[in-house]
Structure 1
Amino acid sequence: MAKLPERVGFADPYTRYVMAILFLVYVMSYIDRQLASVLLEDMKADLGASDGQMGLLTGVAFAIVYATLGIPIARIADRGVRRSIIAIGLAAWSAATALTGAGRNYLEVLLARFGVGAGESAAGPPGHALLSDYFPLSQRGRALAIYSAGGSVGSMLGMWLGGQLGDLYGWRIAFVILGLPGLALAVLVRATIREPIRGRFDSGRPPESEPLRVVLGTLWRIRSFRWMTLAATLHVFAGFGASNWNPAFLMRIHGMTASEAGFWLGPVVGAGSFTGGIFWGWAVDAKGKQDLRWYMWLPSIGTMIAMPFSYAFILWPTDDAIWFQIFASFFGNCYAGATFAMAQGLARPHMRAMAAAGVLFVMNLGGLGLGPTVIGFMNDWLTPRFGVEAIRVSMLIIGLPHVVASVFGILAARTLREDLAAAQE
């Protein structure tokens, strides 16, 4: 393993470079996710699909592979070279994104989405574990919030560029154009990122690797880890479920084109999510110095503040509603940095990629997969009664789990300090 310089975390220029590269990797992963949502209406018409089928395409098809493969890949990452795993995954999902545009029918596009999910499963857990060996615990909330904010930038670029390219050249060409740059970034990851010493900021000698069932059982028995994971899952179920259908909502309810929806929604949501992610990452680190339970309390507070703005966006009668998304996105992006930082803090060094994978498995299967899919099938079920307004009703219903997510976050805080102390023993 390469020896790192004595300056650590944000004080070290090379560590900041690693952060920037991994940030770009996360940007690329979210470009594809939002690309599919902004082009959903065009894809639906071209493929002759229903809302339920499009929900499967943008939700379960991606998430089931992403979540399932994340566990074994994280296991490999806890033992192997994480930069190589990230680079291979990035190249794979970038190629699959480009191939999405080559799909001749619904089944071929569905298979390409499986490929995207498989590739992206190699990004999150290894990336979290890698950053945890570049940043000490006191800086991980900010570090992982910045990393997660790459999703906000990727969402913005995916919607904005996807809408423009879709209207100019069609949805197929948009996928090809936005998929290929990731191949070059994969080469940069492999060539320039050094593998740090595993468990560098932890006291004691890391224990030997344990069987997978033991690792997963150990993590799930940690009460704060369990409640935190369930809270994040409900947050993603409600939040990503709605955001996946936001462009279609603007097109159906307010008569926008794909390029108009992407042009407005991309920067508005991107700005709110990005600044929110950075702010909440800083806030939980700052308040966490006084009491570690703020890592769970603040996301619960932010989630409840976001809800009225989300509902205002859905209920407002004109397309000015889009401006409510700035505040909904700012407060709604309160959970990522805290959740991933605490997942790393609650796990021992040899379990960290698995801890990230465990959180992401439940979040993505239960949230990322089911959220868009449930809205799609609700749209099909409600359309005979509500017509075009069905999507509005579906999005109102899907927001309710945010309340339960906030309660689960408070429950996680109850044992957080004791569980963090136990992980450092």
Structure 2
Amino acid sequence: MDASTTLSPEGRDARALRRRGWTLALLTTAYFFSFMDRQILSILLESIKADLKLSDTQLGLLSGLVFALFYATLGLPIARLADRSSRSNIIAISLAFWSVMTAVCGLAQNFVQLMFARIGVGIGEAGFGPPSQSIIADLYPPEKRASAMAIYSLGVLLGGGLGIVIGGFVAHSYGWRVAMMVVGLPGVALAIIMKLFVVEPRRGLSDGPAATPIADQPAVSLWQGIGEMWRNRAAFHLVAAITVTSLIGYAVTGWGPSYMQRSLGMSMLDVSKYVALPAAFVAGGSALLGGWLCDRAAKRHGIFAQSYVVAIMKIVAFPFALAFYFVDDLWLALGSYFVAAIFAGAYIGPTYAMIQHLAPLRLRSTWAALTLLATSLLGLGLGPFIVGQVSDILRPTYGAESLRWAMFSVAMLTPLGIFHYWRAGVLMRRANV
């Protein structure tokens, strides 16, 4: 159905740019489904725990490490394939597979079966992020890339929040198994739409005439790509920054609903109605605001300023994030949570945009996958698992409040993420980026 193969190179470029808004919208929608399928588990943990008789450590494995091991490690070979072949085809196939496996989670009768279904979700989602970021970087020039990536990141924030809302309402009425199927199966239809309509742009299309044509760039092996990223110290600090931030974020999103139920006395339905949906839109607004501020800062000072903007927003959010774990009054605690959420989503789009800006054209998907490897194994993999493990360890001492202190201990890593954003900005400024 795609008639781009009959067009001249100039015609294909014009068509890709003309339809880039639709492409960005579809990629954002697919990202929404990705995080909805991934994060629905958080609102269902208490129901799954009671039904399958699991420990917090097992729940932490299911929501983090089990998923992340396959999600991250398979991301690299798929990204290498995406740097050489059709990214839009890879995205459509991946979306269909993880959607089916999310529905299969609802059929699990024990920990092992649920674990293998979650592995399937991770395998499918491994093929989405890197090629999507690469396509967006080719469709939008550097001065607009942070805003485009911020729009794309709405999939994370709205998908995670609405996954909790939908999962909570459906599980309340029909059980956690039906909730898994309800959020999973619609992704198959979206995969067909993605296959038909997502544009595959020329690599480097929006980087201007100064960019070296992709055909003139030598082939680069995976290890050379890793070495180039390691030697680019600004990229290294950006990856470190987003990894630390992701670890904290996944711990909060993975265990936040359980914490609200155990320590703040909320029901699963209350968390869905009064917290998840408003928080999703607040964080989505934060993402758009962060992208807009970062693009303005980049136009005025340079790309390096985007890293400073993210660091400042995280500094403002930090005390409110801590207050969420120390305030016993429900409404004050939720107020602190929402103030922190205003700034929570600002880092995603600008960080992805800066990494794509620093990456060589032939390595954009690979560098995105390396970032995914770090944020998934250390962030998604360890964040929920560490909280679950620490909660079990502290349970004899703190009882039902063990989860509160486990989540607080992870939140205290925030200054480390702020440091890495500041350092990345310093290095990019020295390099005149």
Corresponding residue for residue 212 of structure 2: 204
What does residue 399 of structure 2 align with? 387
The answer on whether the counterparts of 1:219 and 1:225 sit within 8 Å (CA) in structure 2 is yes
Shift of 1:201: 2.4
Q: Is the 8 A contact 2:149 2:352 kept in 1?
A: yes
Are 2:30 and 1:18 equivalent residues in the alignment? no
Separation (CA, whole Å) in 2 of partners of 1:215 and 1:401: 29
Equivalents in 2 of 1:303, 1:103: separation in Å?
39
Aligned partner of 1:395: which letter? Answer: M
Indicate the larger mover: 371-380 or 357-366: 357-366
Report the counterpart of residue 355 of structure 2 in structure 1. Answer: 343
8 Å contact from structure 1 (residues 224, 413) kept in 2: yes
Partner of residue 304, structure 1? 315
Tell me the secondary structure at the aligned position of residue 122 of structure 1: coil
Give the aligned partner of residue 289 of structure 1. 299
Q: 1:288 to 1:125 in 2, by over 3 A?
A: same
Give the superposition deviation at 1:256: 2.0
Listed one character per residue, the Cα deviations across residues 334-378 of structure 1 (whole Å, up to 9, x for unaligned) are 211111001110011110001111111111111111000000001
The separation in 1 between residues aligned to 2:219 and 2:347, in whole angstroms, is 30
Aligned counterparts of 1:128 and 1:145: Cα–Cα separation in 2: 11
Identical-residue share of aligned pairs (%): 35
Aligned equivalent of 2:326 = 315
List aligned pairs for 1:13-412, cutoff 5 A: 14-202=19-207, 203-206=211-214, 207-291=217-301, 292-320=303-331, 321-412=333-424
The answer to whether the Cα contact below 8 Å between 2:20 and 2:199 also exists between their aligned partners in 1 is no
Give the counterpart letter for 1:204 in structure 2.
Answer: T
User: Which residue identity lines up with residue 258 of structure 1 in the other structure?
Assistant: M
Shift of 1:417: 4.0
Partner secondary structure for residue 39 of structure 1: helix
Deviations 1:274-318 (A, max 9, x none): 000000011111001122221111111111211111122222213
Contact 1:145 1:281 in 2 (8 A): yes
Unmatched segments (≥5 aa) in structure 1: none
Give, in whole Å, the separation in 1 of the partners of 2:44 and 2:341: 21
* Structure 1 residue 5 displacement after superposition: 5.5
Cα deviation 1:128-163 (Å, max 9, x = unaligned): 001111111111100011001111110121011100
- 1:208 partner amino acid: P
Q: Quote the offset at 1:7 in angstroms.
A: 8.6
What SS does the corresponding residue of 2:300 show, helix, strand or coil? coil
In 1, Cα distance between the equivalents of 2:168 and 2:21?
A: 32
Amino acid at match of 2:86: V
- Give, in whole Å, the separation in 1 of the partners of 2:238 and 2:197: 34
State the distance in 2 between where 1:31 and 1:168 align: 19
2:89 and 2:15 map into 1 onto residues whose CA distance is: 25
Q: Does the Cα contact within 8 Å between 2:234 and 2:427 map onto a contact in 1?
A: yes
Question: What's the TM-score, normalizing by structure 2?
Answer: 0.94
Answer yes or no: is the 8 Å Cα contact 2:96–2:191 preserved in 1. yes
* Alignment deviations for residues 108-128 of structure 1 (CA, whole Å, 9 cap, x no partner): 000111011111111110000
* Count of residues in Structure 1 that have an aligned counterpart in Structure 2: 418
Whether the 8 Å CA contact 1:58–1:372 is kept in 2: the answer is yes
Change (3 A) 1:8 1:187: closer
C-alpha RMSD over aligned residues? 1.5
In structure 1, what is the Cα distance between the partners aligned to 2:375 and 2:293?
23
Tell me if the contact between 2:106 and 2:176 (Cα under 8 Å) persists in the aligned partners: yes
> Which whole-Å CA distance do the structure 2 matches of 1:4 and 1:394 have between them?
52
The whole-number CA distance in structure 2 between the counterparts of 1:130 and 1:94 is 22
Q: Distance between the aligned counterparts of 1:17 and 1:201, measured in 2?
A: 16
Deviations 1:382-408 (A, max 9, x none): 010001111111111110111011011
Whichever residue aligns with residue 359 of structure 1, its letter is T
How far apart, CA to CA, are the structure 2 residues paired with 1:143 and 1:107?
40
Give unmatched runs, 5+ long, in structure 2: 6-10
SS in 2 for 1:271: helix
* 1:420, distance to aligned residue in structure 2 (A): 7.0
Q: Distance in 2 between matches of 1:301 and 1:412?
A: 13
